[in-house]
Amino acid sequence: FLLLPIFHLFFFRILVHYIVEFGRSTADLQDNAARLAAIVDTVFDGIVVIDERGIIRDANPATAKIFGFAVAEMIGQKVNLLMPEPYRSQHDRYLANYLRTGETKIIGIGRELIGQRKNGEIFPIELAVTEMYLHGERKFVGTILDISKRKEAEELLRRTNEALEQRVQQRTSELAKMNLDLSSEIAERKLIEKKLELQARTDDLTGVCNRRQFDVALEMELERVRRYHSTPLLIMFDIDHFKQINDVYGHQQGDAILKELARLVSQEIRVNDIFARWGGEEFVLIVFENDLDGARLIAEKLKAAIEGHAFPRVGHITCSFGVTACGAEDDASALMSRVDKLMYLAKERGRNRVEVQ
């Protein structure tokens, strides 16, 4: 397990708090559990729940994808199944020491570690662990991010920097040629840095903005609303019956549908509209119209374009839309909650429709 960004640690602390509080305040616990399970199943990071003995009690599909196990294979196994030596042998001792002394190396902190896939492949991960009590039992919730691609890019950048330094040292006597080589190396380095920056801002699968970049953009637009009384509008939509598509055609085809949908929507919207993948099959848009009627027309146009498009193998699909305006009194959390409820209202009223508030 490796240092997980503070974003992930805070996010899952909030999720654990939400699980406990939501369970306390709602009568229908089965509905709560189903909704929370849906949230966990659609996040990109792996989530593993273990007990005090280090036994895996639950894991989400992202964990299975990262490590190459089926979820059922992991349940009931020691969590050190996901670690190479020497971490595998040492894990029980680390856990016992924490339970005895409260001294932590990972819990509540987060760090970088090494994971091991089912096929034996060793790879870098970022891990954060949060402790929680549920029905009187102590559990530990671990969130895992595969950082192999990021490490490869960082290593490429490191090697490029080393090569640059070596060439500068070797060619001090050849000033003209050295300047030419230096310019080339700097350009290559900048390309790599831009690639790293792009990876941090875009969704790997679809190429549109990722959730992190969208959160930044939304906060900026809300600040403009408060300062200049602008009227950006928010559209959220997701694919109807997407789980059935995955079940029938497989997750690889499901990914192909998401990519094609993102490409289609990107062609339909304007350059200054902000389009992002929110998570799973959910997408969000910030559009700049005078009123909700204008935003509704955009949503209706997108709905029709998606419904009329022939997707590979699957054929035709539909989406449900929620549309709302950004008010001066809104914060990001309230705004996203409102548009999410509108989208689910569209599903409850028959799907393939637009709900506006």
Whether the Cβ atoms of residue 286 and residue 232 lie closer than 8 Å to each other: yes
Which of 260, 281, 282, 355 is catalytic? The answer is: 281
CB 113 within 8 A of CB 2: yes
Residue holding tokens 């840095």?
193
Query: Is the distance from CB of 254 to CB of 312 less than 8 angstroms?
Result: no
Farthest CA pair distance, the chain: 79
112 is catalytic: no
- H or E element: which one contains 140? strand 137-146
Nearest partner of 306 among 320, 319, 287, judged by Cα: 319
CA distance 45 to 61: 9
Take residue 28 and report the two structure tokens written for it: 């229908």
* Contact present, 88 and 77 (Cβ < 8 Å): no
Which residues fall within 8 angstroms of residue 278, CB to CB, at 6 or more apart? 211, 214, 236, 284
Q: Answer for the pair 69, 144: CB distance below 8 angstroms, yes or no.
A: no
> Which residues are catalytically annotated?
281
